[in-house]
């Protein structure tokens, strides 16, 4: 019986102390708050696609690329690097029928091109 009373008293005391600590207002910081660490995000997984430009939309800055019966649409941004060999190209240099290799990221439901490399016909890079 004494053990039961002691247990009830200890639980009551613990509940009182925890309640008092939780109800106490937070202490003001005497020093400047530490800078928050930058949020870490998961590394972006680059995907690859090789094919031929089927159509282009200059207003939306997007292209549709086909690979056999497979067809994908890609958005071109100001950060998209477009090259032919070592020569940098602009979006306006792309043409329908051009063979390209795209590295892109999936953002929401859109494919955003990171890099576009142009190739002469039948000279596609080897996929791993």
Q: What is the dihedral of CA 51, 53, 57, 60, to 10 degrees?
A: 20
Domains and CATH numbers, the chain: 47-119 (2.40.50.320)
Whether 123 shows a pLDDT value over 90: the answer reads no
The whole-number pLDDT of residue 33 equals 58
Whether 125 shows a pLDDT value over 70: the answer reads no
CB 78 within 8 A of CB 84: no
Cross-strand bridge partners of residue 87: 84
Tell me the whole-structure pTM to 2 decimals: 0.61
CB 47 within 8 A of CB 103: yes
- What would the pLDDT profile of 1-57 be if each residue is shown by its tens digit? 878 887 777 878 777 666 666 666 666 655 655 566 566 666 778 999 999 999 999
Residue whose entry in the numeric block shows the structure tokens 């690329």: 65
The whole-number pLDDT of residue 110 equals 92
- What would the pLDDT profile of 65-120 be if each residue is shown by its tens digit? 999 999 999 999 999 999 998 899 999 999 999 999 999 999 988 999 999 999 87
């Amino acid at each position: 019986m004494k053990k039961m009373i002691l247990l009830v008293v200890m639980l009551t005391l613990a509940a009182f102390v925890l309640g008092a600590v939780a109800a106490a207002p937070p202490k003001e910081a005497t020093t400047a708050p530490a800078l928050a660490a930058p949020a870490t995000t998961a590394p972006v997984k680059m995907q690859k696609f090789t094919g031929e430009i089927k159509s282009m939309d200059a207003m939306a800055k997007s292209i549709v690329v086909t690979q056999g019966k497979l067809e994908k649409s890609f958005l071109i941004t100001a950060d998209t690097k477009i090259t032919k060999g070592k020569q940098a190209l602009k979006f306006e240099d792309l043409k329908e029928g051009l063979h390209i290799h795209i590295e892109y990221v999936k953002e929401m439901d859109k494919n955003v091109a990171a890099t576009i490399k142009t190739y002469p016909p039948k000279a596609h890079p080897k996929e791993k």
